[in-house]
Amino acid sequence: MDAPIYNQQGQSAGKITLPKGIFDLNWNADLVHEIIRLMNSNSRSPVAHAKTRGEVRGGGKKPWQQKGTGRARHGSSRSPIWVGGGTTHGPRNEKNFERKINKKARSKALLTILSRKFKDGEVLFIDSFSFNAPKAKEAKTILTSLSKIKGYEKLATKKVNTAMITMDKKSDSVSKSFRNFGNISVEEFRNINPVSLMNHTYLIISNPAESLKTLAK
């Protein structure tokens, strides 16, 4: 199974043979949905926090005597049934949303997404990105050149979550060049995960031969 490789000017630069175990898997929507749901749950940072009746300030004195007033009996003005009282079963910031994720299932979901994106024509292989110095202008020129490749026209027009550029190793010049583009993110290939892939339309893989070796491990 071969795929074309392009340079950063959008010109053909050869081909690469792709492993079927990574780019030729059947789509498994149930698995992908489950893994993304669990990963989103693990990334939650609870903020909402409602006070119970024991945490609301005041209410220490009994509002009125138990009997003789004709009114209902109450022991505290901070009871949940009072205005200004505590909350019953409200959100608490100590709640733990972490869920266990099976490593094999997570890996399978990642490969499933890669296969689906490749079959949908959303994976682009680039031989390398080269910047003498961080330049957003050069990055814009590169995106414009790549958008001329058939099927990748939206690289220059889509405003949000357009593409994730992956590098075989960290490159400050590439990261800083694309830093001001809100629709582009740059990551090392070893850090990709199902959520990040699903949050972007295109996946641009730089130096694919080395990157795929990392994934095979």
Q: If you search the block for the tokens 């340079």, which residue do you land on? A: 7
pLDDT exceeds 90 at position 157 = no
The string of pLDDT tens digits covering residues 41-67 is 999 989 999 999 999 999 889 999 999
The string of pLDDT tens digits covering residues 172-204 is 899 999 998 888 999 999 999 999 999 999 999
pLDDT exceeds 80 at position 119 = yes
CA dihedral 27, 29, 30, 35 (to 10 degrees): 100
CA quadruple 61, 63, 66, 72: dihedral sign: negative
CA quadruple 67, 70, 74, 78: dihedral sign: negative
pLDDT of residue 130: 85
pLDDT of residue 209: 87
pLDDT of residue 43: 93
Segment 98-110 shows an average pLDDT of: 94
pLDDT of residue 114: 95
Residue-range domain boundaries for the chain: 2-41+100-216, 45-96
pLDDT exceeds 80 at position 216 = no
Domain 2-41+100-216 in CATH 3.40.1370.10:
yes
pLDDT grade, residue 13 (50/70/90)?
A: confident
User: pTM of this prediction?
Assistant: 0.82
pLDDT grade, residue 156 (50/70/90)?
A: confident
DSSP for 64-130, written as a single string? S-SSSSSSPP-S-TTSTTSTT---SS---TT--------HHHHHHHHHHHHHHHHHTT-EEEES---
CA dihedral 172, 180, 39, 112 (to 10 degrees): -80
pLDDT of residue 193: 94
Contact call for residues 189 and 167 (beta carbons, < 8 A): yes
Provide the residue type at 195 as one letter: V
pLDDT of residue 99: 93
pLDDT of residue 154: 87
pLDDT grade, residue 169 (50/70/90)?
A: confident
- In sequence order, the 6+-apart residues with CB closer than 8 A to the CB of 190 are 214, 215
DSSP conformational letter for 156: G
